[in-house]
Amino acid sequence: MAATDIARQVGEDCRTVPLAGHVGFDSLPDQLVNKSVSQGFCFNILCVGETGLGKSTLMDTLFNTKFEGEPATHTQPGVQLRSSTYDLQESNVGLKLTIVSTVGFGDQINKEDSYKPIVEFIDAQFEAYLQEELKIRRVLHTYHDSRIHACLYFIAPTGHSLKSLDLVTMKKLDSKAHLPFAVIGSTEELKIGNKMMKARQYPWGTVQVENEAHCDFVKLREMLIRVNMEDLREQTHSRHYELYRRCKLEEMGFKDTDPDSKPFSLQETYEAKRNEFLGELQKKEEEMRQMFVQRVKEKEAELKEAEKELHEKFDRLKKLHQDEKKKLEDKKKSLDDEVNAFKQRKTAAELLQSQGSQAGGSQTLKRDKEKKNFF
């Protein structure tokens, strides 16, 4: 029998029994209130808009306080999200308020991807909560829930049509921003009649922040804080986070039922995913092994080719060396022949010179002898 059939049967078998006296479970709502008050609440607001549109001023006006924050500049290389958390106390109710602002939104020349950091930030908070939820030892009661409960998109009051950046960003955030409001925020109080009221002074007149005939601030505050704050928190958890959680778990391979529409336990899902992972791991290991073998073969072929080229180069250098050596030997032999011929000519010349000297000496002696005989 399916679980839904069992639940239906149990519901049909329930009977209404009158009580003979006071039991005390009528205090359950009070117990829930006391528990909630003791634990406190958290609320996270994402303010999206260009610098100078009054995001910080509106937050100060909404919560009737002055939030400290660093002034934003127009020199950011990209869109950055700055998160600030504050502990607020009203009567005996505590609220952990987180305000996330978009620094540098709309300041870039190319605004095509300005929405991506915002969407990625929202998904990152869902992912962080999911990872905490999947832990074996969960501490969700003390975990700081940073999921965005409300997204306020600020539009420049130029009176002209929406910018392309506004249209693209609001389309990407379609599941988290719904109603348009014309709001003016101010932390300054001006005396109007006999009362001090939050207002903004313009050259053409005074706009009262809490006057519904002047702007929609009161409607926004009522909708956001007094009426729908808990609903926004619940919608964030039960709708937006659950959708993200379901898609993420389906991507991871988890299912509620098998192909036969039978319940699929977490253990079976884990085993199936584990076997699938091991199969993919073995497949990748085999592919890597084949790739390694192929790389080794290619490297061996490259080394053989390089070795062949080195041998050919060595043979060419060896032949060139032999040719040069032969040329040098031939040249040396030629020089030796020339030296030998020169020595022979030198010896012959010296011999002729010596013979000439001896002949000259004999003739001189002969003349001297003749002279002596004459006298």
Output the pLDDT for position 2.
43
Higher-confidence residue of 114 and 284: namely 284
Residue 348 resides in a domain: no
Identify which of 132, 42, 58, 46 has the alpha carbon closest to the alpha carbon of residue 93.
42
Confidence class of residue 4 from pLDDT cuts 50, 70 and 90? very low
Angstrom distances, CA of residue 33 to CA of 38, 113, 139, 201, 253: 9, 44, 21, 42, 39
One domain, residues 147 and 228? yes
The model's pLDDT over 165-203, given as tens digits with 9 standing for 90+, comes to 667 776 766 654 755 566 667 767 777 778 777 777 777
Model pLDDT, residue 7: 45
Same domain, 192 and 316: no
| 347: amino acid identity, one letter | T
Residue 352 falls inside a structural domain: no
* pTM exceeds 0.75 for this model: no
Do 93 and 192 belong together in one domain?
A: yes
Whether the Cβ atoms of residue 40 and residue 97 lie closer than 8 Å to each other: no
Residues 54 and 131 grouped into a single domain: yes
**Pair 46, 122: CB distance under 8 Å:** yes
Q: Tell me the per-residue pLDDT of 23-58, one tens digit each, with 9 for 90 and over.
A: 777 788 888 888 888 888 888 888 888 888 888 888
| 286 falls within a domain | yes
How confident is the model at residue 10, as a pLDDT? Answer: 47
* DSSP letter string, 272-325: HHHHHHHHHHHHHHHHHHHHHHHHHHHHHHHHHHHHHHHHHHHHHHHHHHHHHH
- Between vectors from CA 54 to CA 50 and to CA 60, what angle results, nearest 5°? 135
Does residue 236 lie within any of the structural domains? yes
pLDDT number for residue 1: 44
What average pLDDT does range 211-226 have in this prediction?
72
The CATH number of residue 239's host domain is: 3.40.50.300
Same domain, 178 and 295: no
Among the residue ranges 7-11, 17-21, 104-108, 320-324, the one predicted with the least confidence is 7-11
Residue 3: per-residue pLDDT: 42
Same domain, 89 and 217: yes
Q: Where are the beta strands (DSSP E) in the chain?
A: 41-48, 80-90, 93-103, 150-153, 189-192, 195-202, 205-208
**Domain total in the chain:** 2
Residue burial 39-56, b: 16+ Cβ < 10 Å; e: rest: eeebbbbbbbbbbebbbb
Structural domain range at position 107: 34-255
Residues 238 and 288 in one domain: no
The Cα-based distances of 25 to 32, 33, 35, 36, 206 in angstroms read: 12, 14, 15, 18, 54
| 3-state secondary structure at position 232 | helix
